[in-house]
Structure 1
């Protein structure tokens, strides 16, 4: 991946010359954190844009097109998600969606880069109030830990009903989060009935990375599901992988619990449409099953 700042535009270049761009008014903030280059732009029509190492993380207008399919399908498929772990997600959007579920008693967010949390709190209208409570340790149902999610999983004795990995793309530094070893650690941290979900990159442009992650998960979890969703700001469709521990059926969700959520993008009543995948990709995923 690369990126290009043309006049009045931010363009993220994917492999094969495919680009996703936004017209921008100005750059609001830029810094080098301990882990990555962080930039925030004001766009013409999509609010503010968060960029990490040249890759688009979210735009304010439409960010729920990523956070909703990452969170609600697994939360509604689990019969009683009381304890939830979020790895990454420093902008707060994923945890915000998790806490919309009244079943949740405790949620832990482990973000390695404190700079992402601080910049998101100061500049983004995504989860500002929630981040404020987390920073002040005033959120009764959630805890923010600044640390390495890989080390946290390996060292923690806590068990969770749902684990959500909201990471950067499955290339470069984040590749460890898509390894068999990491999946085994996550499996151990799930309760007897648990669900694990991760974003897995662009269906068309990161197909090999999706295949690798899927095959690694198949070595660990009792069942693995794949689905895709169109995400604003990403090279859509975007892929997601779900690992199941125990007897949970991810093809079914609790529509009664879904009634009060008032979602914009993911439609629980059409949950089955998640599983649409280009035929050639589905054949690649299933050829060695």
Structure 2
């Protein structure tokens, strides 16, 4: 797993020998932060590539295929999302998309690794000014601890974390989901990415099972994300009587590249065998 100087390529290896790779022009930056190894590369055809602990976080050209789908479906399914919590998302892409919604009065982002934010602001700039928006609050800290201790309540909670394996597993636990449910308003939505449909199927099933014990309803969907072992899975937890299958198209931001609110129903396509496994839970 990682960068090969000889091949001038970065490859992320998934289970069963499946890899996602990019041809690399040069390594722009690398460091060991307090929490993880951070690398940044210039690729041949996809702009800059951000890597944490050997796993692809995003590629500059096409990152919207992840951030749009993580943010807009839940924002448009909620009738009036004013207060939003983002856990993780240090590159700023999720914050950027959240702040495209005029209803948002405050977006709080809790990122554990300050270096991710600093490097992303200096080298990537995909936040496009979101960190400087007066509605944005950046907290450097542990999202699990913050959610347990905060007295604030939110309309939407978005977890933009690393894969549901290793250190991030706490973000996919029943205990964490209960904290999130408690901190949602009477009507609220929670969304998390849940890994590769084909290669992290067991992790997806575990997260879905845990969420079903907590939320009033749980939805699953998938989307092809550039740079990941797609299709990529997402899970949505509902508090109250909201229907995630219905979105307010009239509030959709202009110039979306990947997520199409008018074709919202296409999100719910899932391979038959995976859907059957999920429906057994």
Return the TM-score normalized by structure 2. Answer: 0.98
Residue 262 of structure 2 is aligned to residue 280 of structure 1: no
CA contact (8 A) 2:13 2:19 kept: yes
What secondary structure does 2:129 align onto? Answer: helix
What secondary structure does 1:194 align onto? Answer: strand
Q: Where does residue 216 of structure 1 map in the other structure?
A: 210
- 1:3 to partner: Cα distance: 3.3
Q: Where does residue 86 of structure 1 map in the other structure?
A: 86
Query: Structure 1 CA distance, aligned partners of 2:186 and 2:266?
Result: 28
Which whole-Å deviations, capped at 9, do the CAs of 1:5-30 have from their partners, x for residues lacking one?
25210000000000000000000000
Q: Where does residue 52 of structure 1 map in the other structure?
A: 52
Residue 268 of structure 2 is aligned to residue 269 of structure 1: no
Query: Structure 1 CA distance, aligned partners of 2:275 and 2:3?
Result: 32
* Equivalent runs, 1:163-178 vs 2, <5 Å: 163-178=157-172
Q: Which blocks of at least 5 consecutive residues in structure 2 are unaligned?
A: none
- 1:4 to partner: Cα distance: 4.8
- 1:130 to partner: Cα distance: 2.5
Which whole-Å deviations, capped at 9, do the CAs of 1:144-171 have from their partners, x for residues lacking one?
0000000000000100000000000000
Structure 1 runs of 4+ with >4 Å offset: none
Which whole-Å deviations, capped at 9, do the CAs of 1:96-155 have from their partners, x for residues lacking one?
000000000001000000010001011113115223x2xxxxx31110000000000000
Q: Where does residue 2 of structure 2 map in the other structure?
A: 3
CA contact (8 A) 2:96 2:128 kept: no
* Equivalent runs, 1:1-289 vs 2, <5 Å: 2-5=1-4, 7-131=7-131, 133=132, 139-258=133-252, 260-288=253-281
What secondary structure does 2:26 align onto? Answer: strand
Q: Which blocks of at least 5 consecutive residues in structure 1 are unaligned?
A: 134-138
CA contact (8 A) 1:163 1:195 kept: yes
Taking only aligned residues, the RMSD between alpha carbons, in angstroms, comes to 0.9
- 1:224 to partner: Cα distance: 0.1
> How many residues are paired up?
280
Query: Structure 1 CA distance, aligned partners of 2:115 and 2:255?
Result: 31
Which whole-Å deviations, capped at 9, do the CAs of 1:214-246 have from their partners, x for residues lacking one?
000000000000000000000000000000000
CA contact (8 A) 1:60 1:125 kept: no
CA contact (8 A) 2:157 2:180 kept: yes
CA contact (8 A) 2:99 2:130 kept: no
CA contact (8 A) 1:47 1:59 kept: yes
